Structure 1
Amino acid sequence: MLACLVLVLTSLALIKNSVAAEYLVGSQQEYRQVTKKLKAGDVLVLKNGVWKDFEIVFKGKGTKANPITLTAETKGKVILSGLSNLRIAGEYLIVKGLVFKDGYTPTNEVISFKYNSKELAHNSRVTEVVIDEYSNPDRFESDYWVGMYGQNNRFDHSFLRGKRNKGVTMAVRLNTKESQENRHRIDHNYFGPRPIFGSNGGETLRIGTSHYSLSNSYTLVENNYFDRCDGEVEIISVKSGKNILRNNVFFESQGTLTLRHGNGNLVESNLFIGNGVNHTGGIRVINKDQIIRNNYLSGLTGSRFGSGFTIMNGVPNSKINRYHQVENALIENNTFIDIDNIHLAAGADSERTAAPINSVFKRNLLVNQSKQTPFSIFDDISGIKFSDNLANFNLSKINSGFVSKKAIELNKDANGLLVANSKNYGAQLDFVIDKAKTGPTWYDKSDLAKQFDSGKLVKVSPADSALSKAVSAASSGDIIELESGEYVVSKILMLNKVLTIKAADNANVVVYPERSTLFEIQNFGALKIDGLTISGLKAPDSSGNTLIRTQKWGMFYNYQLTVINSRVIDLDINHSYHFFDAGSRSFADHITIKNSVFKNITGDFLRLNKETDDLGIYNAEYVTLKDNEFDNIGGALLDLYRGGTDESTFGPHAYVKGNKIHNIGHSKRNKINAAIKLHGVQQSYVSGNQFTQSELIKVEHTVGDPVTEIENNQFTATAKPEAVELVFKQASTAKITNNTYQ
């Protein structure tokens, strides 16, 4: 009897000890105390509020039936800010409901599926987590937002938006055997807008690295939404084998899903919607045994490595980090609608001479409203067998393997996608993941960025410090409207908000800066000027004044500058008075100057030349000068520089069209001896301009297959444009045609 009683008491004790506990903690100290005693089935709850500078370490050994959980008291109400991060290690752990914002990680990762190199996470899950604009303020300080290590982990229903510093948004790491053949699952996540980075290092998702690319990962990436992920030419960079990427949506994202390294990957049933947005791309194929089937691609404008569909040339006996030959690729039942470019044997040059072999392109549907072929062929494509494809355009370059019809009847399927009547051709998507079904249901996906003219109208009359006070009081997106009169500005107007400053209808507005700078664009700032006259007559008599500048170093937030319908005059109080000067590590999405007059400037007009470390970095993505008058500018009209040999960006782009350009560039301090200098610019269009008594245009091509067109301009008392190739020993590829010289 006594033995039975002892047995019963022992059993009760074991049951009591095995009962899961729930702990609610309100401080970092309480958190650390509780984590020492966590066991399978326990739940650790963080109280609602802001947890600043909290480096969370979550370790433990749960079981499949009884995981250990770290969660928020209320999902979305626990904010990790400042220098916070999360490291998890152990077995069967779950993290959910946390938000990272208003700070950045103090280490290499915001969320890491490891504690250190020896303690990794296995069979663990991070779900409904938000990382929103949580970027290091040094744009070129590299980190990841999510690093997946170990095996059999899941990252799902999470929200990642606005990474602005260098480094992959999310990376699957294969750098140890314990992290290879990992069978991770990445699903139902919302990858929100990633702005153009302006250099290599802006991928949204990378699976592996070139060093471990011959290892298999077996990672599943499915049902995710990639929304305007524009960081660089690779949205997803696959650098390992045996991965599956299916049922994902790529919406207006610049770049491609790139099978960069690794073999035997499956890309299936994905949707690429470009809507005609510049540089939107599809899929790029490299390496062996890749299967690309049942994908739907529409409205993609990209070209070359970022085209709607690309099959690359490889390097014979390629090093592991270069380009392996495409071999045994199967490309079947994909739909291509209004795709500008499909490039075959792309990248062919003196190094990449290994054309695709033993590959098949079959039962694909290709429809272009223009009925123009999207195909460009750069080398021998006899190693690609084309069979039973359907197209509505003439295939003069590829005759076999296509059934060409003048008209192809298309109908909308249940997803609203155009499909052919015959299911033999093109993609048949069972369903398309909706943006609302990705990420946490409780977190708003509305854009944060303010647009010009999206706020209230603020009317201002001339008075002492009127403009300064209006700028200081305005909110982002506001329009400051100036009545007729003179506005003397005695302060530098610091812009950390998006503002439009314009003249009222039929108003005559003159702005006189009294400082060396009128506007400084800072992080979160953007400036639009409309209808103003700005005069430098009251500026200090010193050299090196700058009318508009960015902060001098270290911006991490992309900005815009627009000047329309305005006059800028008499920036000549002393030498080297510049109109605009970009600071080092600043980056403009757009600089747009239209329908304006600029006269008597002793310095340069646009100085976009600070990134001279030749790492593929540059200061502006799009620069547009259209229908302006430029007269008597001592320095350069435009100095735009992108150095190095990196090929991972689309820009810079320069558009100089319809301008009257007189007496530009003759100052002895104009060291580049040019009116316009374009170094490493990827797309340059100079057309319909009148150049008179000005220095020449200098073009220096580096890498990236740049496009330069200098056409239909009039050059009077101005030297002919010069274009040179600095990397490849060949004649310049610049098109300098239909110009007149007097």
Structure 2
Amino acid sequence: MVRFDRAVAAVLLLITLGFSALTAQQIRSVATSQEIRMAVLSAQPGDEIVVNDGVYDLGETLIITRSGKEGLPITIRAKNRGKAELTGSSHITVKSASYVVIEGFLFTMTNGPAVLLEGSNNIRVSRNIFRLKETKQSQWLHITGNPKEPLRRSHHNVIERNLFEKKSQLGNYITLEGSKKPELLISQYDTIARNHFRDIGPRVENVLEAIRIGSSEFTFARSHTIIEQNLFERCDGDPEVVSVKSCDNVIRHNTFFECFGVLSLRHGNRNTIDGNFFLGNGRTGTFLDSTGRTWQLGTGGVRFYGDSMTIVNNYFEGLTGRKWDGTIAMTSGNAEYGQGLPLTKHYRSRWTLVAFNTLINNASHLEIGYDGEGFQGNWWHLPPSDITIANNLIVGSTDTLINLYTEPINAKWEGNILHATDDAIGMSRPVRTGVAMKYVALEKRDGFWRPAAGSVPVDGAEGEYRTIVADIEGQPRVAKKDVGADEQSTAPVRNRPLTASDVGPDSK
């Protein structure tokens, strides 16, 4: 009997402790700026702070230093998505904290950053609308180190399902950096996913990218950032829509629609661009630079420098950019690693793989070795070296499908198929092997062109390329791969061109 009583008492104690733990997690409804501040100051792991509909000016930066726990985050969210507006000076700084969720707000404050993460980890910024009122240069969301704890690195933060729109002053929608002293510590393992970036511009010469990952100081820093399944629409502010300036990042399964500029691997090494859609829709424009020169603007694809880049499974259609804004722009460089030159230079591309991409009806297609033509007194005389260009499908009716401004050094060409129609020319210079001029039957299905059944690219790839295991739709590549971004398959489609309903605050 005593043993039974003790057992019952033990069970009751566990139930009581469990109930106490549950009741300790509070849901707090707040309706004033002061209530928001007080709730944040006393928040405990698992607490949820629900901000009622209304317009709030917090008067000064809201600093969050409280941390949640894995599975028990501190959540600060709008009661109704987009109905709690933070305006005026309502900036949010998360400082040396972890496991915090910021969700559902409309940010309209004056200048940024609307959200600043300093030396923080496992922060989730989700389903917000960023529409700031700008009077000067600023970043809208900034991930970096904590100046007072410079050795505390930011990491594993998630920026997902937000809308960023209507930025016109210098700065970025999202900037990811880190501490620079006493040592370089860039934020690591962050994810930027399912966001909608649109209408940034008009064009300036520099510093108006939608996203920047790193800077020249972080050229050799390993960031391991993932940018995936985002929609970029009319992001026109900078020659670089997304500027990657660090190492070991992955940009995959995004859609770039009518953007003046390119996805640029500007600094760093070992970055990957995989399975993205670049859709130009034939859009063009003009830009008057600071010297009074008028430039023709075009929608671009990718441009890259540095070592060991991977550009695979991408689809490019209707792009109008050339040279710096070309569809695949592999320009020459003006510096070599080890020369002691500033890291702001354009370092020669080496050991890069460009494979299994599809390029359809662009103003330019694959451009290699452009030297800058003396722009701003500069020449780029170091052509790409030791590159592999394999199993790409290029179809076009104008210009030159492969334009070699300068011959690359020790390049490997394999399995590429060109279909030049109307006035198009296959190549500006002959290549001995690895490029074939053939008729390609195409069909448009699910938003993009692909080889028809039985067409030449089907099962036509050369080489094994074992690391490329899926196509642009996420379908498996079989033993005998198809040339281009698409593999004929009946497997489920996991990736397709994105629309506004697929991303942003209201997406599933």
Fold-level similarity (TM above 0.5):
yes
Asked whether 1:57 is paired with 2:63, we answer yes
Across the aligned residues of Structure 1 and Structure 2, the Cα RMSD in angstroms comes to: 2.6
Which stretch shows the higher mean deviation, 156-165 or 49-58? 49-58
Match of 1:92 in 2: 99
1:45 corresponding residue in structure 2: 50
Q: Compute the displacement of 1:135 (Å).
A: 3.5
Equivalent residue number for residue 382 of structure 1: 409
TM-score (norm: length of structure 1):
0.55
1:352 aligns with 2:383: no
- Per the TM alignment, residue 219 of structure 1 is displaced from its structure 2 partner at its CA by 0.3
**Structure 2 counterpart of 1:321:** 344
Q: Separation in 1 of the partners of 2:225 and 2:179? A: 15
Which structure's relative contact order is higher, taking Cα pairs within 8 Å and 6+ residues apart? 2
**What is residue 163 of structure 1 aligned with on the other side?**
167
Q: Which moved more, 1:152-161 or 1:308-317?
A: 308-317
* Alignment counterpart, residue 311 of structure 1, candidates 300, 324, 330: 330
* Other-structure match for 2:198: 192
Tell me by how many angstroms 1:9 deviates: 7.0
Are positions 1:130 and 2:129 aligned together? yes
Residue 57 of structure 1: how far off its partner (Å): 2.6
Using the alignment, how far apart are the partners of 1:365 and 1:390 within structure 2?
A: 5
- CA distance in structure 1 between the aligned counterparts of 2:212 and 2:12, rounded to whole angstroms: 55
TM-score by length of 2: 0.79
Sort the Cα spacing of 1:8 and 1:407 in 2 relative to 1 into closer, same or farther, 3 A: closer
| Aligned-residue offset at 1:15 | 4.5
Any residues of structure 2 matched to 1:12-27 within 5 Å, and which?
12=16, 15-16=19-20, 19=23, 20-27=25-32
AA in 2 matched with 1:35: V
Q: Which secondary structure does the structure 2 equivalent of 1:339 belong to?
A: coil
| Equivalence map 1:200-239=2 (5 Å) | 200-239=206-245
Q: CA deviation at 1:407?
A: 2.8
Match of 1:425 among 476, 480, 483: 483
Question: Please, which of 289, 295, 317 is the counterpart of residue 308 of structure 2?
Answer: 289
| CA positional deviation for 1:288 | 0.2
1:441 Cα deviation (Å)?
1.4
Residues 159 and 390 (structure 1 numbering): CA distance in 2 closer, same or farther, change over 3 Å? same
**1:393-408 alignment to 2 at 5 Å?**
393=420, 394-405=426-437, 407-408=439-440
1:351 deviates by 4.8
* Equivalent pair of 2:213/2:244 in contact (CA under 8 Å): yes
Paired residue secondary structure (1:124): strand
Alignment partner, residue 501 of structure 2: 436
Shift of 1:174: 3.0
Alignment of 1:707-726 (within 5 A): none
Q: 1:189 to 1:179 in 2, by over 3 A?
A: farther
Task: State how 1:365-514 maps to structure 2 within 5 Å.
Answer: 365-370=393-398, 372-393=399-420, 394-405=426-437, 407-419=439-451, 421=455, 422-423=457-458, 424-428=482-486, 430=493, 431-432=495-496, 433-441=498-506
Looking at structure 2, the residues matched to 203 and 49 of structure 1 have their Cα atoms a distance apart, in angstroms, of 32
| Structure 1 Cα separation of the partners of residues 300 and 103 of structure 2 | 33
Identity of paired residues, percent?
25
Tell me whether 1:148 sits opposite 2:146 in the alignment. Answer: no
Question: Contact 1:191–1:229 (CA<8 Å) still a contact in 2?
Answer: yes
CA distance 1:168–1:18, shift in 2 (3 Å): same
CA separation in 1, counterparts of 2:427 and 2:352? 22
2: CA distance, partners of 1:442 / 1:363: 35
- Structure 1, residues 262-298: CA drift from partner, whole Å, max 9, x if none? 0000100000000111210000021000000000001
User: Alignment partner for residue 117 of structure 2, among 108, 113, 132?
Assistant: 113
CA contact under 8 A between 2:450 and 2:486: conserved in structure 1? no
Q: Is the 8 A contact 2:307 2:350 kept in 1?
A: yes
Given that 1:255 and 1:281 are in contact with CA atoms closer than 8 Å, whether structure 2 keeps it comes out as yes
Q: Residue 25 of structure 1 contacts residue 31 of structure 1 at CA under 8 Å; is this kept in 2?
A: yes
Deviation of the 1:304 alpha carbon: 1.7
Post-superposition offset of 1:356:
0.9
Kindly report which structure 2 residues correspond to 1:551-630, keeping only aligned pairs within 5 A, or say none.
none
Aligned counterparts of 2:21 and 2:249: Cα–Cα separation in 1: 42
Give how far 1:408 is off.
1.5
Mark the structure with the bigger radius of gyration: 1
Q: Which runs of 5+ in 2 are unaligned?
A: 145-153, 285-297, 421-425, 459-481, 488-492
8 Å Cα contact 1:256/1:306 also seen in 2? yes
Task: Give deviations 1:122-165, integer Å, cap 9, x for gaps.
Answer: 11201001112x1322xxx2210111231000000000001111
Question: Once the 2 structures are TM-superposed, how far is the Cα of residue 18 of structure 1 from its aligned partner?
Answer: 5.2
Q: Secondary structure at the match of 1:193?
A: strand
Contact 2:139–2:173 (CA<8 Å) still a contact in 1? yes
Asked whether the equivalents of residues 442 and 449 of structure 2 are also in contact (C-alpha less than 8 Å), the reply is no
Distance 1:442 1:385, change over 3 A: closer
The letter of the residue matching 1:146 is L
The answer to which of 333-342 and 226-235 deviates more is 333-342
Distance across 1 between alignment mates of 2:434 and 2:507: 48
How big is the shift at 1:396?
4.3
Amino acid at match of 1:45: V
For 1:241 and 1:56, how far apart are their aligned partners in 2? 32
The Cα shift of 1:6 comes to: 11
| Residue 361 (1) aligns with residue 386 (2) | no
